[in-house]
Amino acid sequence: MEKSTGIKKVKAAVFISGTGSNLQNLLKFSKTKKFPISVDLIISNTKKAKGLKYADQFNVKKKIFNFKNIKIAEKNILILIKKEKIKFICLAGFMKILSKNFIKTFNGKIINVHPSLLPKYKGLQTHYRAIKNKDKFAGCTIHYVTKKLDSGKIIVQKKIKITLKDNPNSLAKKVLKLEHKLYPAAIMKIFS
């Protein structure tokens, strides 16, 4: 419950592994009145994740879990999530695959951003593959997380043109901008 806004927000955790630009964006939205979730916890599988800096900037709790032993990591994450009363999970550049059991525990309450027009290009190197295949469009997808990788129900999806000048890097930058629009839109849609 976010007292300052007067509306009841769903307490959420964001899982990251890297730069955290989607996390930063969700934290910004989280502070606005009409956004239905409040990001109250940041979880990473590595202390090297640059996005962890946003925990201090936004005064949000962060915790790093070592995924060498995934069972122990997930058990401890579940304990923390319960303690913090987290009811919703956003994966944002989280590079670990969560177990079936973990996903089952949070059934229908974990979403992910994927940098392709799913069901095309599940997994990694999406931009490289799109350019190599001479696709006309790239894009991003926000989807529910299920036990099958990048295959859960699509919440929202948006496409952009791939130009002849594009390379995987330039395309990644363009798609990331799109992700920053689409991720909050997906959350609004879910809770509307």
Chain residues in the site for ligand GRF (CB under 6 A)? 16, 18-22, 51, 92-93, 113-115, 176, 179
Whole-angstrom CA distances from 117 to 79, 91, 155, 157, 171 are 34, 17, 12, 7, 13
Smallest distance from ligand GRF to CB 57, Å: 15
Q: Is 127 designated active site?
A: no
Smallest distance from ligand GRF to CB 74, Å: 19
Between residues 8 and 139, which has the closer beta carbon with respect to ligand GRF?
139
Between residues 83 and 111, which has the closer beta carbon with respect to ligand GRF?
111
The span from the CA of 152 to the CA of 175, in Å, is: 20
Q: Are 58 and 26 in contact (CB under 8 A)?
A: no
Spell 12-50 as b/e; 16+ CB within 10 A means b.
bbbbbbbebbbbbbbbebbeeeebbbbbbbbbbbeeebe
The span from the CA of 177 to the CA of 181, in Å, is: 7
Would strands 154-161 and 37-44 be described as parallel, antiparallel, or unpaired?
A: unpaired
Q: Which of 114, 127, 143, 180 is catalytic?
A: 114
Smallest distance from ligand GRF to CB 173, Å: 10
Smallest distance from ligand GRF to CB 20, Å: 5
Between residues 82 and 189, which has the closer beta carbon with respect to ligand GRF?
189
Between residues 154 and 176, which has the closer beta carbon with respect to ligand GRF?
176
List active site positions.
Answer: 114
